[in-house]
Structure 1
Amino acid sequence: RATVSEMGPNLFSRLLELNDVQSGVLEIIFKAADDHGWLLLDLKDLRAMLSFAAEKDNTKDLSAQYGLISPTSIAAIQRSLLQLENAGGDQFFGEPALDLADFMRQDMSGRGVVNVLAADQLILKPMLYSTFLLWLLSELFEKLPEVGDLDVPKLVFFFDEAHLL
């Protein structure tokens, strides 16, 4: 699982298959939530933020501060979000979020632990699968330091269906 905030507006726009205008509105939604200190943990939080932005007074205020938000764009994002929810996407967002440190544990004798992410159902949703993998790879790149050549690898990552990326 990952939180909506961790996924970010760019990957989430890709997941929802939004156009450029809708992606821009989603970027505003994420920025406004961040500026207000509101966490976007799951799809319900994102839906609530979209509903907040759709209220006439809030649309006017957000448009003045961040750029034009049209009710049509919000409605399109809400419909795409509904499709994601109906496809079971809500089970991939929320807390507890995936902790990358869990992938780098060692047993009592110092040997690494093998982790298998079963994606047999996830692979049936190619856009969700590829977006999740892109998020996971970006998290690894962002959080793991460059260490050069090690005697023992810190993490080995294999995945099937790479062509979906």
Structure 2
Amino acid sequence: HYIYVDTSFAKQGEKAVLLSSDLQAEEWSCLRLVYQITTSSGSLTDPSQLNLYVRFEDESFDRLLWSAKEPSDSWLIASLDLQNGSKKFNILIEGVLGQGNTASIALFEIKLTTGYCIECDFEENHLCGFVNRWNPNVNWFVGGGTIRNTHSNLPQDHTFKSEL
């Protein structure tokens, strides 16, 4: 299952807000969202937007942690490290409707775990703490530039959008 913003009767700029219960992180935490933003092709000038805020106890304002407005045909993942502290806080997830009511903002997963988020783009030429379990026939290789396998379908480098 997933949750989504129903835009059937909404007007441009209207917001749907999802508020967490009170949270407290005495250690660093990782907040992970699996989300998707879709829109009609004619509404790219003012797209719908997904925002993530933190609200600390005893504060009257919300701090923007992350924002996305790029439409996608598939689910995307956002991972954010949340700093430890003694104050209680809430997470606010806000869907803002862009131009047209054919937009859709959906969340497939919201996950908060103890510890840092592990993200790796392999630009540093290592496996980011993962271990390659050796197999005489097939293994993972950190690459860039020319791909060893000439039958590969990889179109471009995901991080820098450059040719492989």
TM-score by length of 1: 0.25
Whichever of the two has the greater Rg, that structure is: 2
Which structure carries more strand by proportion? 2
